[in-house]
Amino acid sequence: MRLCKWILMLAAILFLGGCLAMSPGFETPTVGLKSFRFLPSDGGVPRFEIGLHVVNPNRSALKLEGIVYSVVLAGHKVITGASADLPVIDAYSEGDVTLTATADLLRSIGLFSSLFKNPQKPFSYDLEAQLDIGRLHPRIKIHEKGEISLQDAAK
């Protein structure tokens, strides 16, 4: 019985060592916010385009498994979403990820109130996202803050 425990422990160590050897020298890709803008809306609910720029410093292609994100606008958490429709970023290259997000109508009531009170004033946004690049690697976390105005929607 003791011999079985040792064999299982040795097999687990060899398996983990093999997994680590599959991606030696892996560097965490860099992800930044490229754009954040309003899109024309069909039904009165605000829509947004969120552009991310990904830099892959590794010798193998980066297959993005998925992304989970949330956006707070003018202090109101109005957007939460996820996407698995993401591009592959080739080795030693850069690529863009574009997300189209629709605001939650019930959560947007406070945002609509703020927009009607100060339609010309820029307001703050806070974007949080996590990119999943595979089971053997930690998620890449993004946190960006800035300002956006309604004039940006007209451009």
Q: What is the pLDDT of residues 68-97, one digit of tens each?
A: 999 888 788 888 889 998 999 999 999 999
Give the model's confidence band at 154: pLDDT under 50 very low, under 70 low, under 90 confident, else very high. very low
Task: Tell me if 97 sits within 8 A of 85, measured CB to CB.
Answer: no
pTM for this structure?
0.69
Distance CA 28, CA 137 (A): 9
Long-range contacts, stretch 17-24, CB < 8 angstroms, 24+ apart: 19/136, 22/136, 23/60, 23/136, 23/137
pLDDT tens digits along 10-33:
777 766 555 544 556 778 888 888
pLDDT value for 14: 66
SS3 assignment, position 121: coil
Domain extents for the chain?
25-154
Topology, domain 25-154: Immunoglobulin-like (2.60.40)
Angle ∠(155,99,54) on CA atoms, nearest 5: 100
Query: What's residue 23's pLDDT?
Result: 56
